Structure 1
Amino acid sequence: MTKEIWLNLPVKDVEASKAFFTAIGFTPKPDQSAPGERACFQAGKSIIMLFPDATLKQFNGGLGVNDTSTTSQMMISFDAETKEEIDELADKVKKAGGNVFSEPSEVQGWMYGFAFADLDGHRWNGLYMDFSKMK
């Protein structure tokens, strides 16, 4: 039924967000991007689309977009291959201008992860999960 999941995110500055997501290691999809209008990335088996607020408002039936400085509609989570990959990604996020609001650490004895906000305040959670340690 579903081939891919596409996450459409509102951004204030498409080019700045494009630079951020490129710097943290997401794979740009230039064939589906247009300077200043949209940026597309492959992230695992998901597609991340970045649109200016006004464009996304057109797509979502005229609803406004969340003020990420005061609300969070969701947290986008993804998995990593190793703990070291989590540490490296946290460093990349900081260097690219993101806000790591939860430093890499053990979670519940079977996960290792961190959480950050991108340039527009969208919340992300990177995890390494060792299911053999899950209770």
Structure 2
Amino acid sequence: MKNDFWLNLPTKDLPRARKFFTDLGFEMNQVPGNPTHMVSMVLGEKKIIVNIFEEALFREFIGGHKVTDARESNEVLFSLGADSPQEVDQWMDKAVKAGATVYGKPGYKDGWMYGAGFVDPDGHRWNLLFMDMSKFPNR
């Protein structure tokens, strides 16, 4: 567990969050005891863990501090790398079908990046990005 890295998020509706991320096809993290108080996912080749906890439990973890309503403000943007523009489009299709709201339609930026963005049911923003490094501008 040394040097492992976890991101923890709150949710107002754990079953909805579980269904949303399962519908997106995220790899679920096998947590001992099959807990009912969280959804745990593994993201990317570096195996970053994202845990989603019921809001009341999340509030305990942060010492009773107020939980930000991510539908009104954001502290973080989650970015997921894609291998092609088509993969970005596929992720977006899955996200919309699972109940996401689009905040950034798929498209190119600066001639070498192709991306899109969606908002999950709890208001957390996710960015999908393909970077064609062969077209990266020399500076």
Q: How does 1:26-65 map to 2 (within 5 A)?
A: 26-32=26-32, 33-35=34-36, 37-44=37-44, 45-65=47-67
Residue type of the partner of 2:48?
A: S
Between 1:110-119 and 1:68-77, the stretch displaced more is: 68-77
Q: How does 1:11-30 map to 2 (within 5 A)?
A: 11-30=11-30
- 3-state DSSP class of the match of 1:31? coil
- 3-state DSSP class of the match of 1:121? coil
**Structure 1: tracts of 5 or more residues without a match:** none
**Alignment root-mean-square deviation, CA:** 1.6
Q: CA deviation at 1:5?
A: 2.4
Residue type of the partner of 1:133?
A: K
- 3-state DSSP class of the match of 2:31? helix
Q: CA deviation at 1:60?
A: 1.1
Q: CA deviation at 1:4?
A: 3.2
Per-residue CA deviation, residues 30-59 of structure 1 (Å, 9 max, x unaligned), is 435522x10101111211100011111111
Contact 2:112 2:135 in 1 (8 A): yes
Q: How does 1:71-90 map to 2 (within 5 A)?
A: 71-90=73-92
Contact 1:24 1:93 in 2 (8 A): yes
**Which has the greater radius of gyration?**
2
Contact 1:30 1:39 in 2 (8 A): no
Which residue of 103, 122, 137 corresponds with 1:101?
Answer: 103
**Structure 2: tracts of 5 or more residues without a match:** none
Q: 1:8 maps to which residue?
A: 8
Contact 1:13 1:52 in 2 (8 A): yes
Distance change >3 Å, CA 30–CA 14, structure 1 → 2: farther
Output the TM-score relative to the length of structure 1.
Answer: 0.92
Per-residue CA deviation, residues 66-98 of structure 1 (Å, 9 max, x unaligned), is 112221111111101111110001000000001
Q: What is the CA–CA distance in structure 2 between the aligned matches of 1:8 and 1:42, rounded to whole Å?
A: 12
- 3-state DSSP class of the match of 1:105? strand
Which residue of 63, 67, 70 corresponds with 2:69?
Answer: 67
Output the TM-score relative to the length of structure 2.
Answer: 0.89
- 3-state DSSP class of the match of 2:73? coil
- 3-state DSSP class of the match of 1:49? strand
Q: How many residues align?
A: 134
Contact 2:9 2:58 in 1 (8 A): yes
